[in-house]
Structure 1
Amino acid sequence: MGGRRPRTGHDWKLLAEACGGLLEGLPDLVDEYLRRLAAHSPTYARVIPHDQHWQEAQEAMRIGIEAIRAPRASPRRDLEHAEQLGRRRAQQGLPLDLLVHAYRQAGQLVWERLVEESSSRRPERLAVLMLSATMVWRAVDEQADTVSEAYRSTELELRRRTDERLKALLDALLDGDRSPGLTSRAAAGLDLPEQGRYAVVALRVERRDGREPFHRLVQGSGVRCVWRMRADYELGVASLAADTGLDALAELLGSAAPGPGGVSPVVAGLAELGRARRLAELALRTCPPDASGIVRLDRRMPAALVVSQPDLAELLVSDVFAALLALDPADRAVLLETLDAWLACEGSAGRAAGRLYCHRNTVFNRLRRLEQLTSRSLSRPRDLTEIALALDAHRLTSSPSGTT
């Protein structure tokens, strides 16, 4: 079985002459190339200015033809040029499939012209050209691979920079930055309305336990959330549809959040996210360490007042619960649990007894003892307010883990 004959010096000379003929007619070749690209997709013309495209195409084809004429040249200028062009097209936003198509179209056009020139003028060149077909298309493949790799790496870098810029914009909004133009830049970058219904969510999240990611959970629900991690909790900026309330948001996120969370009141635009973030964090601080679910700040106002003033909360606890805290821990826990159940049941001793699995008279006895220890009456509104606030203060500020 005979093998392909090796190329001689005469063969290389004939190939160089054929390539030289293409270089002489390069402007016409470039015009035909751009016509083919325009027929394939109008995106080329939209993304790349015509004069720039013509000059770049002329340079790329010239370098490519010279690479065929001198395939052993080092360094490979055709690959260097392909790498530069791949970066440039990624920055311009030309789709990668169109970029690869353009490179292969250029290779096809150059090959067609080489065959035409060899067939019509110097038939002896055609045999030489057929010997070089593998080399030519290998070079085209290498150029396409190089331009693709450069494009992808540049695209990843651009995406990383964009992500970092968007995170910085969101952080600035959440920190209450009022710099001119910040909200308009953030609205454009995050694809959020500058004015609209927003709430901030603060979630104490340690693990997801295989649960559905938050950004997937809210899809198609009238809520769009953008998330940022802080040191020990996660912040979400929720853009709410006109008919979506805070209860719906709390229920939606509560089904996915393994830990407690707080929701701010609704604010009217991106400029108010700093205030909303502070209020969401305050709502989260009203949740005991072992709590679960999402709470609304506007429904936890007394507890929020307590945790926002730790010094006063400490004074309130010592003033109201001094005698109670001196009891044996087990005895103290029973009285505090009874008070908590009675308040949760809106002052119904019967319902509290059902929750505590005891007789209603037992509830009454425990509450009377608590009144004696605190020197306050649960039937007097002012005393009841102090006792309820003291209970929140004791529950939320007595342990460092209860703070955010």
Structure 2
Amino acid sequence: MPGAAKTDRKTDPESADLMRRVAVRMMDGVPDMAGKLLTALRADEDAYRVLPEAELRRDMERSFGAGIAAAYQERAQRRDVEIAAATAARRAEQGVPLESLLRGYRLATQITWDAMVDLIAREYPGSAGTILHLAGRIWQDVDRQAIAAVTGYRRREAELSRRSAERAEALLEALLEGRADTDVVREAAGALGVPQFGAYLVVACRPEATSPSCPPARLGGLRVLRRPRTDGDILVVWLNGADPADALAALTPELPGPAGVSPLIEGLLGLSEGRRLAMTALSTCRETEIVRLDDRLPAALAVSRPDLAARLVGTVLGPVLALDPPERDTLLRTLDCLLDRDGSVTRTAAALYCHRNTVFNRLRRIEALTGRSPDRPRDAVELSLALDAHRLAGG
């Protein structure tokens, strides 16, 4: 009847007073509510089964207690949002998925609501209609707690991700610098997501040869680890069963060059040697070349011992270098072109746009100055090494 409806309707102050009294009484049931939630989550959520039961029960009782107490506490006294954020951060650290955490909030809300309805129906039967007035307040509080939980979870998740990335970078640096023992290697394999005893290539790149997204971290079946350095990037490529030549072919289009590539490296413990060899290969690069060390061993020998390389240049090419620049550059360019074309005078003349006799004349001039002829294999090796050493020294 209309009159009865008017009599049952509670004013806001009356609703608030009832909420306080109900909340105080519900505090006695917090352990039971926490037990119901714990049972439900451990039955259906794998992440909650592996966590310590005592810790979960403690956290759930604290959360239920703070959430219920918020109904009668002053805003300055409330800790429900703070506890929600802190608990969510711990779940993030423990690897509980966010979906599982939010499912826990939905279950906790239902358990709290059922407990409140039962208490009002049992102890305040004449005030059952007030539940509708209290619902909005309860859902608002739950929303605030859930938002705080999601924020706390994601903040800690981002922090953990950042720390994990920083640790992975530090471990990779230790491997590349040769500062890793077997324990570090084992930890690095887990942190970097690569096998401890896999097959790798190490690629040394100058700063202009890479960008944060080039090459990608995954390229086909390859896994590419990047370590930025002041003198360029070092890329560690886990072959994942791929042939080294095929891996390099897939990687090459992603690098504008220059870059030096190590020989095949077996296991993470060999990455420091791989870095050294890749850097040596890089030092032999011309312009945007991508060079395998094994394809540049003579030049690598020259750059590995600058003192001997300088002596080699002076001994073999000294008389040529002492000429006036125009003649010097012409002879060096002719010699370089001839060596690149396997000693073919015809192809050298075509490349230089001159007559074959002109090439012969220049070669005789080189032989007269150096005492070495490109036609003699041993002399050709010395001339080639000296020319490489001169070029790599900036000549």
With the length of structure 2 as denominator, give the TM-score of the two structures. Answer: 0.91
Residue 22 (structure 1) aligns with: 26
CA contact (8 A) 1:18 1:125 kept: no
CA contact (8 A) 1:250 1:295 kept: no
Deviation, 1:98, is 1.5
Distance 1:329 1:5, change over 3 A: farther
Q: Say whether 1:357 aligns with 2:353.
A: yes
Q: Which string of whole-angstrom CA distances, capped at 9 and with x for unpartnered residues, describes residues 35-86 of structure 1?
A: 333454333223x22222122111210111111233x331421111112112
Out of 178, 185, 193, the position equivalent to 1:176 is 178
Q: Say whether 1:320 aligns with 2:322.
A: no
**Larger mean Cα displacement after TM superposition, 376-385 or 336-345:** 376-385
Deviation, 1:202, is 0.6
Residue 12 (structure 2) aligns with: 7
Deviation, 1:207, is 5.7
Residue correspondences, number = 387
Deviation, 1:254, is 1.9
Distance 1:6 1:372, change over 3 A: farther
Distance 1:5 1:328, change over 3 A: farther
Rounded to whole Å, the distance in 1 between the matches of 2:123 and 2:265 is: 78
Alignment of 1:243-392 (within 5 A): 243-245=242-244, 247-288=245-286, 291-392=287-388
Residue 128 (structure 2) aligns with: 126
Q: Which runs of 5+ in 2 are unaligned?
A: 1-8
Out of 22, 38, 46, the position equivalent to 1:42 is 46
Rounded to whole Å, the distance in 1 between the matches of 2:121 and 2:31 is: 21
Q: What is the aligned-residue identity percentage?
A: 41
Rounded to whole Å, the distance in 1 between the matches of 2:256 and 2:232 is: 12
Q: Which string of whole-angstrom CA distances, capped at 9 and with x for unpartnered residues, describes residues 225-260 of structure 1?
A: 211011121111122244412x32332222121221
CA contact (8 A) 2:209 2:258 kept: no
Deviation, 1:90, is 1.0
Counterpart residue identity of residue 240, structure 1: L
CA contact (8 A) 1:205 1:257 kept: no
Rounded to whole Å, the distance in 1 between the matches of 2:118 and 2:180 is: 67
CA contact (8 A) 1:283 1:304 kept: yes
Out of 91, 105, 115, the position equivalent to 1:113 is 115
Deviation, 1:352, is 1.9
Residue 208 (structure 2) aligns with: 206
CA contact (8 A) 2:317 2:370 kept: yes
Distance 1:270 1:140, change over 3 A: same
Residue 402 (structure 1) aligns with: none
Alignment of 1:11-90 (within 5 A): 11-46=15-50, 48-70=51-73, 72-90=74-92
Counterpart residue identity of residue 44, structure 1: Y
Counterpart residue identity of residue 244, structure 1: D
CA contact (8 A) 2:219 2:250 kept: no
Deviation, 1:325, is 1.7
Rounded to whole Å, the distance in 2 between the matches of 1:173 and 1:205 is: 21
Rounded to whole Å, the distance in 2 between the matches of 1:212 and 1:363 is: 47
Rounded to whole Å, the distance in 1 between the matches of 2:210 and 2:225 is: 17
Rounded to whole Å, the distance in 2 between the matches of 1:214 and 1:279 is: 21
Deviation, 1:16, is 1.9
Distance 1:90 1:220, change over 3 A: same
CA contact (8 A) 2:168 2:188 kept: yes
CA contact (8 A) 2:343 2:374 kept: no
Rounded to whole Å, the distance in 2 between the matches of 1:75 and 1:372 is: 98
CA contact (8 A) 2:214 2:255 kept: no
Deviation, 1:371, is 1.7
Residue 6 (structure 2) aligns with: none
Q: Which string of whole-angstrom CA distances, capped at 9 and with x for unpartnered residues, describes residues 87-137 of structure 1?
A: 111111111122122123212321222123223442333333322222211
Rounded to whole Å, the distance in 1 between the matches of 2:394 and 2:311 is: 12
Deviation, 1:347, is 0.8
Q: Which string of whole-angstrom CA distances, capped at 9 and with x for unpartnered residues, describes residues 201-236 of structure 1?
A: 111131658x962125x5224x32211011121111
With the length of structure 1 as denominator, give the TM-score of the two structures. Answer: 0.89
Distance 1:332 1:125, change over 3 A: farther
